[in-house]
Amino acid sequence: MRSRDKILGVLYGQAIGDAMGMPSELSPVEKIRQQFHGKITTFLDGPTNNDIAQNFTKGQYTDDTNQALAILDALIETHWQPDEQILVKHIMAWADAVGAWEHNILGPSSKAALSAIKAGQDPRPVTDQALTNGAGMRIAPIGTLFEPADVKRLVQLVFDVTRITHSSDVAISGAAMIAGAVSAAMVYQDWDDIIDFALTANDEGVKLGASTWAAKTHDRLLLGIYIAQKYEGDDDQFSQRIYDVIGTGTMISESIPAAVSIAYYCRDVQKCALMCANLGGDTDTIGAMATAICGAKAGVGSIPTDWVQLIDTQNPQHDLKAYADQILQFK
């Protein structure tokens, strides 16, 4: 059942995966190995030669977690009844506060949709064709609100908070897959059951979005789980096959199945965060999603205390424990 330990596991898991993957964001795996002398083994400052990561220091999380918490702020303000204008207000307030427009911090779909809204234009031509992973990177906390029996309510809320920037079928299905994996991981003991429920949520979500030609996240996750099972115990081979076959770029149809497959393979917050940071591609976003799922399963008690303290110290703008208390009040 839902518990404060599991909810905090999700929030800190998301933040840890995001912050650990920040220095290598959008880097090819070969560059990561060269720049970080083989691999990343701990939290690091964003390097000056990374246009996005240079805006962050060791232990700071990026737009993934900041947007996830902005969505929670909006829902808390409206007593958990999603209001599109309030959701946009909170995302915009964060973006303006951190200079997201000037510092290239926003993802392409979110930036285009929010720019249209700023200009007083209808964002639907952008959101209906949004194929990048902003929908999934910020959704994990929504999974903490529901148990698996409430799958339809879960997916509806995923849709309601996602469509402000992403309303395509692949975006809604991918976001529902992440939220579903979180919801199931908080309750189910068996990882295969977690994957089955993530697929169920995914399939509910795809019905709600505008049609696109994007590859199906359902089938790509099945392929990722096959790879995880085939290379069980061989971290390097598994990671390389996810990179080569599933893909680790910013597309929903790559990064979201990759993240869920990595969570299934790692099953541990520390291992997951480090694997994602060294993966290559959209490391911070994949790390945020995958490590949130591991945190949902293992709880915050499984996370090293110094990691939790670093997240708190480096991100004083948020109190994750206060968010957990608010989430527990949701009915």
In this predicted structure, what is the pLDDT of residue 2?
Answer: 87
Residue numbers in the known binding site are 62-64, 282, 284-285
- Amino acid identity at 205: G
Fold classification of 4-328 (topology level): ADP-ribosylglycohydrolase fold (1.10.4080)
pTM of the model: 0.97
Q: Kindly list the distances between the CA atom of residue 129 and the CA atoms of 103, 109, 123, 221, 321, in Å, as whole numbers in the listed order.
A: 24, 9, 10, 21, 36
In this predicted structure, what is the pLDDT of residue 106?
Answer: 81
DSSP alpha helices (H): ranges in the chain? 4-21, 29-35, 63-77, 84-97, 108-118, 124-127, 134-137, 140-143, 151-162, 169-185, 191-206, 217-230, 235-241, 252-266, 269-277, 283-298, 305-314, 320-328
In this predicted structure, what is the pLDDT of residue 322?
Answer: 98
State pLDDT tens for residues 224-252.
999 999 999 999 999 999 999 999 999 99
| Burial profile 259-277: b = 16 or more Cβ within 10 angstroms, e = fewer | bbbbbbbbbbbbebbbbbb
State pLDDT tens for residues 111-164.
888 888 888 899 999 999 999 999 999 999 999 999 999 999 999 999 999 999
Q: What is the Cα–Cα distance from 288 to 286, expressed in whole angstroms? A: 5
In this predicted structure, what is the pLDDT of residue 1?
Answer: 78
In this predicted structure, what is the pLDDT of residue 70?
Answer: 97
In this predicted structure, what is the pLDDT of residue 292?
Answer: 98
Q: Kindly list the distances between the CA atom of residue 62 and the CA atoms of 6, 23, 222, in Å, as whole numbers in the listed order.
A: 22, 10, 29
Which residues of the chain register pLDDT less than 70?
A: none
Q: Tokens in use for 247?
A: 């893909």
Q: HSE, CB side, 13 Å, CA atoms: give it for residue 327.
A: 28
Residue numbers in the known binding site for Mg(2+) are 62-64, 282, 284-285
